[in-house]
Amino acid sequence: MPGLLLGDEAPDFEADTTQGRIRFHDFLGDSWGILFSHPRDFTPVCTTELGRAAQLAPEFSKRNVKMIALSIDSVQDHLSWCKDVNAYNGEQPAEKLPFPIIADKNRELAVKLGMLDPDELDKDGMPLTARVVFIFGPDKKLKLSILYPATTGRNFDEILRVLDSLQLTAYKKVATPVDWKPGDSVMVVPTLPDEEAKKLFPKGVFTKELPSGKKYLRYTPQPE
């Protein structure tokens, strides 16, 4: 099945959305972007996910991230579904969310991007869209891909966390260790010589001693 691999450029597709017709590269502009797909409108898990995404939209905006969703129903269905999502969040049932939803009624984009879940079928026996998360950098290239089955809802706080890691490590010569959160210490990348690391990280580089004697666990406070 066709799909995107890390480092691939996002296809510059055109699509109808709840906020009008878009061309994807123009929509992204110079921003980071997150595209997240849904199996179908008016489904329980998807509704909770869109509700959480809407609540976190200001956090994504602060990080210069354009959000866009995809579901295999029509624009009119999407607009009606938005009312339910807003009501779920305790808001007025308006036909609008802080981000557009792509209408992919014929599954053309889902097939192109490798988003279909072969184990989850609709009443006609057609595969539903899986819960995919694609994060694109300002260069329009895929930086992260997470694939969930239709039965498992996503954790949008985790998506924000990995986005913070992607943005930090894109511009600094560091990596983020297990369970890292913004503000925690980070790791100096192995390819950076010690002398250069000392210059780049004036707050200090701290090496953990290991039985092997290899000095590869090098930490530094998160750089600004």
Q: Is 183 exposed, middle or buried (0-12, 13-18, 19+ CB in 10 A)?
A: exposed
Report d(CA 215, CA 207) in Å as an integer: 6
What letter represents residue 193's amino acid? P
**Between residues 126 and 11, which one has the greater pLDDT?**
11
**Domains (ranges, CATH) in the chain?**
8-159 (3.40.30.10), 172-221 (3.30.1020.10)
Longest dimension (CA), the chain: 63
Return the residue matching tokens 């200001």. 58
Q: What is the per-residue pLDDT for 158?
A: 96
Average pLDDT of the segment spanning 186-207:
96
Q: What is the per-residue pLDDT for 55?
A: 97
From the candidates 46, 54, 68, 115, give the one annotated as an active-site residue. 46
Give yes or no for residue 127 having a pLDDT over 80: no
For 89-98, 119-128, 171-180, 195-204, which range has the lowest pLDDT when averaged over its residues? 119-128
C-alpha distances (whole Å) from 156 to each of 55, 101, 195 are 10, 17, 38
* pLDDT band, very low/low/confident/very high, at 1 (cuts 50, 70, 90): very low
What letter represents residue 160's amino acid? L
Q: Is 42 left (phi over 0), alpha (psi -120 to 50) or beta?
A: left
Q: Is the dihedral of CA 150, 155, 158, 164 positive or negative?
A: positive
Choose among 125, 84, 123, 128: nearest CA to 105: 128
What letter represents residue 44's amino acid? P
In the chain, count H helices and then E strands. Answer: 6, 13
Report d(CA 89, CA 69) in Å as an integer: 17
Choose among 68, 69, 66: nearest CA to 28: 66
Q: What is the per-residue pLDDT for 76?
A: 97
> Which DSSP symbol is given to 152?
S
> Which DSSP symbol is given to 184?
S
Q: Is 82 a catalytic residue?
A: no
